[in-house]
Amino acid sequence: MRIRIGSRGSALARWQAEHVQARLTELGHDVSITIITTTGDRVLDRRLDNVGGKGAFLKEIEEAMLAQEVDLAVHSLKDVPTALPVGLHLCAFLERADPRDAFISRDGRRLAEMPAGARLGTTSLRRQAQLQAARPDLVIADLRGNVDTRLQRLREGAFDAILLAMAGLTRLGRAAEATEVLPPEVMLPAPGQGAITLECREADTALQRAAAVLNHAATERCVIAERSFLAGLGGGCNVPLGAYAQEDADSLHLRGLVARENGSIVLAGERRVTDADALGRELAGDLLEKGAGELLTR
C-alpha cells in the first residue's frame, strides 16, 4: 500500500514521522514523507493561544489530508485538540514514551536548588502554573521554538533553566541533558504527553487497518481517559490543565488538575474506574464541582 505521511519539519517531528515510516515499511508498505510548514512553525513571536492554540501545529497538515495531498499525519498527541476537523480520525496510538517533564538548568541545579529570582523559560500555562505554585519566587518567561532552539537559548544565558517533555529529549538522543525528571506529583503532564498518534481520513478504511497494527492498547486506554478529561473541561481551553492516567491491576487511575496561571489556585483530583472515557468525564465533573468552571471562563 502506498502511504504519504505529512510532517512538520522540526527534528522531533521528522524523527516521529521517520519512525512511523520505518515501521510501516517493515510491514510491506511504500511510505514517503512530505514536509509541511504549519502556522505554529512560522509564527514564533506570539503566544500559541494568539495563533490558534496547539492546533496551529496541525492545521496545514490536516488541510493537506482533506485535499488528498497526503494520507497520514504523525503527531505528538499532546498537541492534538479533542475536536478534529470533520472527515479526520485518530487511527492509532503508539506505545507511550516517558510522559514526564524534564527540568534543565544551565548550571546543573535542580528545581528545589534554584535561587529566588531565577529565570525559567516556558510558554506552557500548565508548566507555568505548577512552577509558580511550587516556587512563586521564580520568574517565568516565554520561550517558544523547537527543542534545539530552546536548548540553545538556555546555553546562551537567556534563561537559568527551561522545561521540556522528556519524551522529546529521549527521541532526539538528548536525555542526558535533563538535570532532573519531574515526577507527576511535582509536575502533572499534559494530556497525551509522551504518546505519538496517527491521524487519517475517516473514509480511508484501508489505511486505518494498516495503522491499527501499530496501535498500543494500554496507551490508547490511558490517553483516551486523559483526553476525555480535557474534553469534559471544554477541549481546547487555554488554561493550565494537566492529566495523567495509569493502568492498575483491574482499573485505570487518572489524576487531573486545573489551575490559575499564577499558581495561586490549583484544583486537583483523581479517580479509578475501568471505562476510560467515563473516567475522564467523571473527573472533569469533580473539578467543575470544585470551581474549575470559573478558572475555565477566565
> Catalytic positions, please?
79
117: left (phi over 0), alpha (psi -120 to 50) or beta: left
Please give the Cα distance from 235 to 159 (Å, whole number).
31
Q: What are the residues whose beta carbons fall under 8 Å from the beta carbon of 39, sequence distance 6 or more?
A: 51, 52, 56, 57, 59, 60
Cell of 199: 491521524
* Exposure on the CB side of residue 234, measured as CA atoms within 13 A: 16
Nearest in space to 62 (alpha carbons), one of 165, 189, 229, 197: 197
Please give the Cα distance from 174 to 86 (Å, whole number).
37
CB 229 within 8 A of CB 222: no
Nearest in space to 298 (alpha carbons), one of 256, 265, 255: 265
Please give the Cα distance from 126 to 261 (Å, whole number).
8
Please give the Cα distance from 5 to 198 (Å, whole number).
10
Q: Write the DSSP symbol of residue 190.
A: P
Please give the Cα distance from 172 to 192 (Å, whole number).
19
Please give the Cα distance from 60 to 52 (Å, whole number).
12
Q: Write the DSSP symbol of residue 261.
A: T
Please give the Cα distance from 273 to 269 (Å, whole number).
14
The SS3 call for residue 83 is coil
